Amino acid sequence: MELDGNLGKHGLEGDALVQFLTKGGELTAVKSNKWKKKSFYRLMDDGRTIRQESFIRDNTFSIDDIESIRTGRQTEGLQKYTDATLEEHCFSIIFKGKHKNLDLVASSKADAKRWVAGLRKVITNLENLSSQQKSEQWIISCMKRADKNGDSMMTLKEVMSFLHRINIQMDDMHVAKLFDECDTSKSGTLEGAEIKTFIDLITQRPEINAIYEKYAVTGGQMSAGDLQNFLQEEQKETVSVEYAQKLLDKYEPDCTGQQNERMTKDGFLMYLDAAEALIFNPAHMNIYQDMTQPINHYFISSSHNTYLMEDQLKGPSSTEAYIKALLKSCRCVELDCWDGPDGEPIIYHGHTLTSKVLFEDVIKTIMENAFKTSEYPVILSLEIHCSVPQQKRMVEHLTEILGDALLKRPLGTEVPTLLPSPEELKRKILIKGKRLNKLEAAFNNNNNNNNNNTEDVDSVSEEDEAAEAKPEGERGAKPKDPKKIEINLAKELSDLVIYCKSVHFTSFEHSHGKQACYDMSSFKESKAKHLAETSATGFIHHNMEKLSRIYPAGSRTDSSNYNPVTMWNAGCQIVALNFQTAGEEMDLNQGRFLPNGKTGYILKPEFLRNPDSQFDPNNCSKGLWFKKKILQVMVISAQQLPKLKSIVDPYVRVEIFGVPVDQASAHTTYISNNGFNPLWNQNFEFTVRVPDLALVRFLVMDHDTVLHNDFIGQYTLPFTSMQNGKH
């Protein structure tokens, strides 16, 4: 393992675009009208780091931290602070997590194209590397940074620095002993083959070696028959030797191994990192569920206060927040609409210091990004605080910008008794809000009750956020009924509400007997939690007929989230969370919607859809839903965990979320000073009684005896999407 430049190991040596990035060039970073700074950017020799060189200081960022590259003026910053004539000069680097976008302007259209194409090529190439290749590239990168004088030789001091960089702390005497063993030339430095020997020593994986040696019985390597035995005995897969041979052909990197039809240990490691060996069932990666049932038969990934990037009191509002949510498969976004200057409605968190964004810009952003991740319908949940003239302006933007994507009239020729399916509503955008009349009016072109110039009054129910957040006296005298306020609603906007009509919730009996399938209520989290705990079966049957939207309490000014599992257990579909706030609740949401092609729609279990069902998540010992399973988990090891403030002391917590009786957790001991290759080999067993509603979360934490334990990483998936075996 050499310390020389390693672009060749990426397979990009000689590539013209990559050579362009390596040479680098000037780009202008844009943050505001006044903040526009030129710097020299280039791809470093490791092929995975971009350096920004300026007069003030140099900065770097990793290719691994890039989520996507956007061409043109697609971000809010570039649209605000650059001229439209520079459209083809602009591009943006979008980072993972909360790191702000990097908005850039190139000196020419050609350079902008080369930067975008080159960065995308490097990103794709890194993503396509095997786990082993990624590991090697990362180790080389860390070694090069530790090699201070760049002579491709490692002194003992540099080796100590390297170990610290890869998140492992060893006893100094032990490191010195290993160093001496590898320094066969006795030069006082490691170079070439000596470095490789040292790396091999510290990257040994005895847990993998033991498995491989157990099954590699054909001349010390795996034949297709050996691999078949492993798949059957360890992975619990019923497979043919032909299937095993296909895996061997696919993942064996060594030409000699391929010719001899043998899988080396390197090939076995590549297989273990492949989709076929993931804990997530590859059959669930694509759309595998029936998408033709009524839309209320699905859990729908949903966002609350979608326009906010941070907290609800003074955080920024941005179109970027809609992009991030939609690209994460969110299918229901919220728009709080208020009167803005110059007759143009705006979106922000009313009566707060949060910044404002134009309604028109938000609708443009939604149209551009609605169906990039999923083709299934998007619901716009409107909170209307606008005057009638600005409501009409909203209608103009909705109809002109969304065009045919906007659902303007019901499907079919008869008043529906069931909601349409996601499949029927593919690539459609639906409006959720108040409606002045019943949907029957949409089938009567000669509707005499209202005309286009009518301004009517409608009441907003207590469950609506507008009423809940309404300060006393804001609109004048306090209403006689504190549970209701009145708004003027333009008929044009009312007519766009088809299958998601907001109505007041009185009782399950009233909803069943008096309301239509397209009537839906919103519930504050406390109200929904109370119903889910005291009237779960009634709530479930209500959701078999209608859509329900749950939203966080107004007291969550920090944009924190509630536990969505309780609401899903009661069959609630639109369980809206603050997508901008990372944490356990959003992990559960992303895990729930991980399967089925990341469409943002998950078909509810049969017992949440069948009218004959008497399922109660709080008392579920009998019924078709009771499918008792034993989950046995062995936490074996981890590789190359990220370093936090210092070298980590990692432990793994396994958590089960689902019906109350299934809630459980267990954790390993912590491994001191080793985030590089900690080994636990600890077993846990869980009883899961309602697997169709269970989620399994693997949480990795850094143990701290003084302060709180720090989050390192997690992975959440539905119990029913797990597959057996070693992963």
User: Which residues are part of a known binding site?
Assistant: 305, 334, 336, 383, 432, 434, 522, 549, 647, 649, 673, 702, 704
Question: What's CA 68's distance to the chain center, in Å?
Answer: 14
Is 541 an annotated catalytic residue? no
Query: Bridge-partner residues for 575, per DSSP?
Result: 301, 550
* Token code pair at residue 96: 């993972």
Q: Residue 483, Cβ neighbours under 10 Å: how many?
A: 12
Q: Do the strands 90-95 and 66-71 form a parallel or antiparallel pair, or are they unpaired?
A: antiparallel
Place of tokens 């210092």: 646
Indicate the residue type of 116.
V
Of the listed 89, 284, 304, 397, which one is catalytic?
304
d(CA 392, CA 394): 5
d(CA 13, CA 20): 12
* Token code pair at residue 342: 């110059």
Indicate the residue type of 97.
G
Phi and psi at 125, nearest 5°, equal -65, -40
With 0-12 / 13-18 / 19 or more C-beta atoms within 10 angstroms meaning exposed / middle / buried, residue 535 is: middle
Known binding-site residues for Ca(2+) equal: 305, 334, 336, 383, 647, 649, 673, 702, 704
Phi and psi at 50, nearest 5°, equal -105, 130
| Of residues 11, 6, 2, the one with CA closest to residue 253 | 11
Whole-Å CA distances, 63 to 44, 119, 165, 589: 11, 8, 18, 27
d(CA 166, CA 615): 50
Is 542 an annotated catalytic residue? no
Of the listed 10, 349, 504, 542, which one is catalytic?
349
Do 727 and 272 form a contact (C-beta atoms < 8 A)?
yes
Three-class SS state of 679: strand
Q: How many residues can be counted in the chain? A: 727
User: Residue 157 contacts by C-beta under 8 Å, 6 or more apart in sequence?
Assistant: none
Known binding-site residues for substrate equal: 432, 434, 522, 549
Do 99 and 112 form a contact (C-beta atoms < 8 A)?
no
| Of residues 530, 585, 528, the one with CA closest to residue 551 | 528
Phi and psi at 283, nearest 5°, equal -65, -20
Helix (H) or strand (E) run with residue 525 in it: helix 525-534
Do 214 and 265 form a contact (C-beta atoms < 8 A)?
no
User: Residue 172 contacts by C-beta under 8 Å, 6 or more apart in sequence?
Assistant: 160
Helix (H) or strand (E) run with residue 477 in it: none
d(CA 81, CA 78): 5
The catalytic residues are 304, 349
